[in-house]
Structure 1
């Protein structure tokens, strides 16, 4: 009885040791970073195989990293995705360390730099010349300015995605198109005071598919004109907290292939700009609008979206004046609309929810946040929206757990989330679930624990309640006995 497990373990270890290197490497690919580190300690062979097949590496890019570069990249000699992040209060790696890494990572295709303020233009030029196969680069809080970006676009002819955030340095240098003009597909600019210096690069990027600008100062209508005139195949446009007018949106409407539009907190945009885009961009699939309570976008603009965009699948409305007039048109004309989010809209009440339940037959996921909806409005969903699978309610004071429980009881297959409580199949479970519709175009999944785990949690809660009652009874009997004595 005692020797059998050890014999089985010996046979198992023998079988694993007979695995070819390629099979062992294939198994490592499905393990997380912690498990891979533990496996690398099993033997010298496993250490070598794990290192040779580690393609993704994230390093703390402090100044002392230079001492570990030779030994580290001798072991991890197949890295293709590298992340270098430094704390803002620490001294980051310099050009010497950066170039030393580039010599050992010539096959790099993805690079992420965060707060590497000691890297200069010279370091970027050497790195880009050594790692010319880069396809994606993300830069945040660095200090090499536009000249450092020019070094990348002049050497990395395969670059497809360029993300820049809080770039510091020379603010007068224009970023030229370089050799990436035919390969660049995505440009993302965030929190920059000199974002307009990317105009020449945008102008030369004829194959641009996605353009995202967030929290960048200055007038952006002229840049949108450059985008519309040159990137005719643009599919995604993300504009957030920008100085953009209806004239700029009218220019964007020239991109007839536009499918995704995010218009967030742009106070100068109104129904006029949204109507011009809806009339000419009939392929729109996802529309996110944050009106910022300016009341410049309302039913008029949304009725145009309903009229001219029949392929709409996802709609997110934040602080937008919307009533049943536009909801009815959206439900009638947009027969593919599956995901809807209504946030911070004072005009969304029980009547509007009833309209959604009656008209949105294809709706699968619904999010309601900070709206004057009551239990009566939520209960209407029990008989409407036949394809509905998930409902999320947040910060709606008129909706109680009792109303959500009645909705769940009437539609057992429906997953309902009320603030921090997820009610599914009759069980309540605390959860920090994601939004049904997120601002980055991804559809969040509501936390869905297995039935067994929910039952075990419920059982533990009941046992805790019973034990608490027993202790309370003992305390009462003890006190009463003391008084009698």
Structure 2
């Protein structure tokens, strides 16, 4: 082995794919330990308090992942030690934010790891508007940002995000302080020309006014506004239907969305392939049948929708030839005579009867 250079050993290491085998190889001798660490690109940690001991072995990490509490000091150390990171997944497993990092640590990481393309900070309660501002300032190639349940995020942060021209995916689920003003900032910034995926579920301060602003997101293909409260009605629903690029839509538990929205979606949203209407209690069989002539719809979820019957379902299944999956409540199946259940069967279309 002494006759082989580090490049040759690194080439040999690439053939070892199993993580356990690579770990065993790193224990053979100091040289293999160094080579393995130098070529490691992905790391998930469970003991952040030991970062200073083992992290310097991995200067070329491209992906870093941890669901544990991490301090600002540890985030600063991570930024200095692994500046090449491109994917950061710090999704938290709990809502307990005591001793967790905040804007100071996020600032250091954003500045030190400017190659970041994906940042997941879900449930990190210490993140505020200032931390988001540092992401926008230093991460010019950021494509994916998940701030789900970062409950201190406000409209001010959304104004900053609206200026991020590279962002394609944004998750704001449970960010309960954002309002229609924030959606206006998002939709009318340069972000409107790049954003493809947007989650606003459980943001219950938004209304039709804010939803109408989303029409300016010209590239948006997937939108989730589930559980956004009673202020989102058919006015907002019709505005969503007018978004020509939209392919996947979740309207779950919007209790003031009715057949008027579904009619608009069926008529205008020609590219729609997935629709979730779970819990939309005002929707009836008339709205469901409206999709019988749709050319692109592949899946529709109708659980906890009670005002339709087997005939409506049959017309949908046989009318919409592109349809591949339908989910309905099992109680509907119990109302359909066994002799008639076979009438709804169509090859290449699966009906899931949810219990």
TM-score by length of 2: 0.75
Q: Displacement of 1:350 after TM fit?
A: 1.9
Query: SS of the counterpart of 1:261?
Result: strand
Aligned with residue 36 of structure 2, among 97, 102, 105:
105
Q: Secondary structure at the match of 2:302?
A: strand
Spell out the pairing of 1:129-144 with structure 2 (5 A cutoff): 129-141=56-68
Distance 1:301 1:350, change over 3 A: same
| Cα offset, 1:428, TM superposition | 5.8
* Structure 1 residue 246 displacement after superposition: 1.5
Structure 2 match to 1:153: 79
Which structure's relative contact order is higher, taking Cα pairs within 8 Å and 6+ residues apart? 2
Unaligned runs of 5+ in 2: 1-12, 334-343
User: C-alpha distance in 2, partners of 1:211/1:264?
Assistant: 15
Change (3 A) 1:428 1:330: closer
Shift of 1:198: 2.6
The aligned residue for residue 313 of structure 1 is: 221
Q: Partner of 1:359 in structure 2?
A: 268
What do the CA deviations read for 1:18-65 (whole angstroms, capped 9, x no partner)? xxxxxxxxxxxxxxxxxxxxxxxxxxxxxxxxx99541336xxxxxxx
Counterparts of 1:42-441 in structure 2, within 5 Å, are: 53-57=15-19, 77=25, 105-106=36-37, 107-114=39-46, 117=47, 120-121=49-50, 124-141=51-68, 145-165=71-91, 193-196=100-103, 197-218=105-126, 220-241=128-149, 242-280=151-189, 281-283=191-193, 284-292=195-203, 294=204, 296-306=205-215, 308-320=216-228, 321-332=231-242, 334-372=243-281, 373-383=283-293, 385-419=294-328, 425=346
Deviations 1:64-94 (A, max 9, x none): xxxxxxxx658x64x9xxxxxxxxxxxxxxx
Structure 1's 206 and 381: CA in aligned 2 closer, same or farther, altered over 3 A? same
- Is contact 2:299–2:324 with CA below 8 Å preserved after alignment? yes
Aligned twin of 1:435: none
C-alpha separation in 1, matches of 2:19 and 2:312: 48
Q: Is the 8 A contact 1:362 1:387 kept in 2?
A: yes
Q: Could you tell me how far apart the structure 1 residues matched to 2:214 and 2:266 are?
A: 20
**Larger strand percent:** 1
Q: Secondary structure at the match of 1:326?
A: helix
Contact 2:83 2:112 (8 Å CA) reproduced: no
Contact 2:251 2:276 in 1 (8 A): yes
Distance 1:219 1:164 in 2: 12
Larger radius of gyration: 1
Per-residue CA deviation, residues 257-309 of structure 1 (Å, 9 max, x unaligned), is: 333222212222110111011111222222211244x3x21221121111x22
What are the Cα deviations for residues 399-438 of structure 1, in whole angstroms up to 9, with x where unaligned? 4455323311223441232247797625766588xxxxxx
CA contact 1:259–1:285 (8 Å) conserved in 2:
yes
1:328-348: CA deviation from partner (whole Å, max 9, x where unpaired): 33333x222111111110012
- Check the 8 A contact 2:245/2:271 in 1, yes or no: yes
TM, length-normalised to structure 1: 0.57
Number of residue pairs the alignment of both structures matches:
318
C-alpha RMSD of the superposition: 3.6
Deviation per residue, 1:429-457 (Å, 9 max, x gap): 6588xxxxxxxxxxxxxxxxxxxxxxxxx
**Which structure 1 residue ranges, 5 or more long, are not aligned?**
1-50, 59-71, 80-95, 169-188, 433-485
1:26-37 counterparts in 2 under 5 A?
A: none
Once the two structures are TM-superposed, the CA of residue 147 in structure 1 deviates from its matched residue by 4.8
